[in-house]
Amino acid sequence: MIFPPQTQASIDFAAELFRQAKHVVLLTGAGLSTPSGIPDFRSTGTGLWSRDEPMEVASLSTFRTAPERFFDWFRPLASQIYHAKPNAAHLSLTSLEKAGHIRSIVTQNIDMLHQKAGSQTVIEMHGTMRTLTCTQCYHREDAALHLDGFVNDGTIPRCSRCKNILKPDVILFGEQLPQAAWFKAQREARHCDLMLVVGSSLEVLPVAGLPMQALDRGAHLIIVNNAPTYINVRADAVFFEDVAVIIPAIAEKVLNG
């Protein structure tokens, strides 16, 4: 693909930062998965929160008091995630990881597309849809056992032991981040010499503070996102183009010159 000269120069520069770096950490958000058909949360007009109030549909209190309301809201998103496939950006990032250019991936996504693309070191900050946990006996089950019935028929998943409702192991509003994942993410941010932010608006704390932790310790920063973030002014390179176009272009330059 032929890019405008300024964009190509930024791609070349970003690739050079990759080649020089010894510890690259990725921070990915919902914008990475929009080319795979999964809506993000904050884009004007298309984001999930432009249509729904998050505290009313995706909070822990809603799940506890009106789980049917949560599952009604969650079902279309679960269906999109269930059928989604990794896009060119996911696959390119996996290629960089396999070639030793990426040490770890810190993701705000619950769609498991990094893993489907073949990435190995993925730190999931907002949980996962791989498993569900019983709200009463805390028995954990594989989500694959329930996804077909939920996505196709709207059947609310129930525990095979006590028959109470199972909660997807995703972090809802009002829940704390998984402590082990948060500690790992902070450690990676503080030890990296290059952080690549892809598809994140960097509006949700505390994860939004990770790039600042990296910068404060001398790391370089590249941002690929469709809208400005609070930290663009500190970045070495910023791209507003499609992640499924820019990330493969950077990866191609890193891997093949």
Catalytic residues: 126
180 — phi, psi (to 5°)?
-65, -40
131: amino acid identity, one letter: T
Task: Tell me if residue 124 falls in helix, strand or coil.
Answer: strand
3: amino acid identity, one letter: F
Find out whether the peptide bond into 228 is cis, omega within 30 degrees of 0.
no
- Calculate the CA 68 to chain-centre distance: 26
Percent of the chain that is helix, strand, coil (3-state, to 5): 45, 20, 35
Distances (CA, A) of 29 to 42, 75, 197: 11, 20, 8
Give the largest CA-CA distance in the chain. 62
180 CB neighbour count, 10 Å cutoff:
9
DSSP state of 161: T
- CA dihedral over 123, 125, 128, 132, signed as positive or negative: positive
